[in-house]
């Protein structure tokens, strides 16, 4: 009987002291994969992971490494990139610092896995996608929202034909982010400074791009209105600063096939929904409302017939007309599931759809959304190609 083999893949993890880098990518993804003994491939062999932590502060890296049983850490990214033990470069830095680090990783011949947005401008995002393509490098960009249980249920509904012809998608994303004076803010202050790569459009439109294109169709145009509703905030040190980036964006997206999507993104809204993000999808044969976890549906045969009459109080319980979609599946943490898929694709050499070109489409939508808002017009999105 042959012994099952295990291949260990070294991963450079840059930015693990940050919110996303630590919680989602290190602890919930890479360490979870390591601690379960890796991933089993279809041929019975296994792939496991070995991280090296990279950052600017040695003491912090040493503390993280000790806390999680990690042998390797360094403040010298170039040295890690030059070391053949590390095959994949993973980037969770602030957006502004990302492109230059990814450029170096590509030059060093590493595969690249990165947070979104992949760059601050479309030109730079396309440059990275082209450099990686020319170097024959495998790349992956975080598409975490697609893995949310609610969105997976939505995908199931779309694939089953439940909606008939899909007409529209309405999304509400957001919650109140404290200004930071009388209660500390729950997001980093750079998110509210344009000069530091902040702004809800560059943060959220890349997510909306991959959600829309993977569930409904590619985005053909955008009209967006950005607003900086709260002009002053207080940072991590209690210092007052000017919020130079938008904290809300009201966007209308035309999709291929004629579906209209309208998504509000806001850090200045108080939640009166079941979840922090919700999408309502209406189709000729049925509708659905999905969130991070939940999904409910109303079929055409269960659709009530409201009649508008402002003189009579309406005591119909519209909420009761919806049915819950059952889970029927085991959903892993989305970041981890995507990491596992990327690693399998990397080892098996299969095509990986969520690459730097997909990431560039997200940056394109963000850039077009900002231009639309600045110029007060609808902006078309031409198809992007590497050639
Ligand atoms: N997928 C998602 O849902 C999601 C959610 C939030 C943020 N993000 C993205 O993840 C990235 C990180 O966001 P975060 O909220 O974790 O930020 P954060 O501020 O918590 O962490 C940023 C990390 O970058 C490092 N860093 C800061 N400035 C640097 C510089 N000049 N050079 C090198 N390193 C630097 C910090 O030390 C830290 O490790 C951003 O690109 C953001 O858009 C994605």
pLDDT tens sequence across 49-85: 999 999 999 999 999 999 999 999 999 999 999 999 9
Q: What are phi and psi of 255, to 5 degrees?
A: -110, 160
Per cent of the chain over pLDDT 90 is 97
The answer to whether the CB of 17 is under 6 A from ligand 1 is yes
Work out the burial of residue 99: count CB atoms within 10 Å of its CB; fewer than 13 is exposed, 13-18 middle, 19 or more buried.
buried
Per cent of the chain over pLDDT 70 is 99
Cα–Cα distance between 324 and 315 in angstroms, integer?
Answer: 22
- Chain centroid offset of residue 35 CA: 25
Beta bridge partner(s), residue 324:
296
The answer to whether the CB of 381 is under 6 A from ligand 1 is no
Q: Report whether pLDDT(3) > 70.
A: no
Q: Are 384 and 359 in contact (CB under 8 A)?
A: no
Beta bridge partner(s), residue 249:
226, 265
pLDDT tens sequence across 137-189: 999 999 999 999 999 999 999 999 999 999 999 999 999 999 999 999 999 99
Beta bridge partner(s), residue 232:
242
The answer to whether the CB of 95 is under 6 A from ligand 1 is yes
Beta bridge partner(s), residue 53:
13, 73
The answer to whether the CB of 15 is under 6 A from ligand 1 is yes
Q: Can you give the pLDDT at residue 4?
A: 73
pLDDT tens sequence across 261-315: 999 999 999 999 999 999 999 999 999 999 999 999 999 999 999 999 999 999 9
Which of 111, 103, 80 lies closest to 343, judged by CA? Answer: 111
Cα–Cα distance between 220 and 213 in angstroms, integer?
Answer: 10
**How far is the centre of ligand 1, averaged over its atoms, from the C-alpha of 16 (Å)?**
9
Work out the burial of residue 294: count CB atoms within 10 Å of its CB; fewer than 13 is exposed, 13-18 middle, 19 or more buried.
middle
**How far is the centre of ligand 1, averaged over its atoms, from the C-alpha of 280 (Å)?**
30
Q: Can you give the pLDDT at residue 1?
A: 44
Q: Can you give the pLDDT at residue 207?
A: 98
Other Cβ atoms closer than 10 A to 295: 24
What long-range pairs does 241-244 form, CB within 8 A, spacing at least 24?
241/189, 241/192, 241/193, 243/192, 243/193, 244/192, 244/193, 244/194, 244/195, 244/198
CA 363 to each of CA 138, 157, 243, 335: distance values in angstroms, whole numbers, following the listed order: 19, 28, 22, 20
Q: Report whether pLDDT(354) > 50.
A: yes
Cα–Cα distance between 300 and 298 in angstroms, integer?
Answer: 7
Q: Can you give the pLDDT at residue 358?
A: 98
Q: Rounded mean pLDDT of 102-130?
A: 98
Q: Report whether pLDDT(214) > 60.
A: yes
**How far is the centre of ligand 1, averaged over its atoms, from the C-alpha of 153 (Å)?**
29
**How far is the centre of ligand 1, averaged over its atoms, from the C-alpha of 200 (Å)?**
14
Q: Report whether pLDDT(35) > 80.
A: yes
pLDDT tens sequence across 190-206: 999 999 999 999 999 99
Other Cβ atoms closer than 10 A to 256: 13
Q: Can you give the pLDDT at residue 329?
A: 87
pTM above 0.85, yes or no: yes
**What rounded mean pLDDT belongs to the chain?**
97
E-assigned strand segments in the chain: 6-14, 39-40, 46-54, 72-74, 86-91, 111-114, 139-141, 166-174, 219-227, 232-234, 240-242, 248-255, 260-266, 277-283, 286-290, 295-299, 323-324, 379-380
Q: Can you give the pLDDT at residue 194?
A: 96
């Amino acid at each position: 009987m042959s012994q099952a083999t295990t291949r260990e893949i070294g991963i450079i993890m840059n930015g693990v002291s940050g919110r996303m880098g630590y919680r989602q990518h290190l602890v919930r993804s890479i360490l979870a994969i390591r601690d379960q003994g890796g991933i089993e491939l279809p041929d019975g062999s296994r792939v496991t992971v070995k991280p090296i932590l990279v950052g600017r502060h040695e003491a912090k890296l040493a503390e993280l490494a000790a806390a999680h049983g990690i042998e390797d850490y360094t403040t010298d990214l170039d040295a890690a990139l030059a070391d053949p033990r590390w095959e994949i470069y993973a980037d969770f830095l602030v957006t502004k610092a990302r492109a230059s680090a990814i450029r170096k990783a590509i030059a060093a011949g590493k595969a690249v896995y990165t947070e979104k947005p992949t760059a601050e401008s479309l030109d730079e995002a396309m440059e990275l996608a082209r450099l990686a393509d020319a170097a024959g490098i495998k790349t992956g960009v975080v598409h975490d929202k697609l893995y949310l249980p609610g969105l997976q249920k939505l995908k199931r509904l779309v694939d089953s034909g439940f909606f008939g012809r899909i007409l529209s998608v309405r999304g509400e994303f957001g919650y109140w982010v404290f200004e930071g004076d009388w209660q500390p803010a729950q997001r980093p202050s750079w998110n509210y400074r344009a000069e530091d790569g902040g702004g809800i459009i560059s943060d959220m439109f890349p997510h909306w791009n991959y959600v829309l294109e993977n569930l409904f169709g590619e985005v053909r145009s955008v009209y967006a209105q950005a607003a900086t509703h709260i002009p002053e905030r207080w940072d991590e040190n209690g210092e007052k600063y000017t919020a130079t980036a938008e904290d809300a964006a009201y966007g209308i997206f035309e999709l291929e096939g004629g579906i209209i999507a309208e998504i509000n993104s806001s850090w200045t809204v108080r939640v009166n929904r079941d979840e922090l993000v919700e999408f309502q999808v209406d189709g000729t044969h049925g509708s659905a409302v999905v969130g991070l976890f939940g999904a409910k549906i109303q079929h055409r045969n269960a659709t009530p017939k409201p009649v508008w009459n402002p003189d009579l109080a309406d005591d119909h319980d519209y909420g009761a007309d919806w049915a819950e979609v059952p889970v029927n599946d085991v959903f892993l943490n989305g970041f981890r599931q995507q990491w596992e898929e990327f690693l399998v694709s990397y080892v098996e050499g299969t095509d990986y759809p969520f690459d730097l070109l997909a990431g560039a489409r997200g940056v394109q939508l963000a850039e077009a959304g900002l231009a639309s808002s600045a110029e007060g017009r609808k902006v078309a999105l031409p198809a992007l190609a590497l050639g």
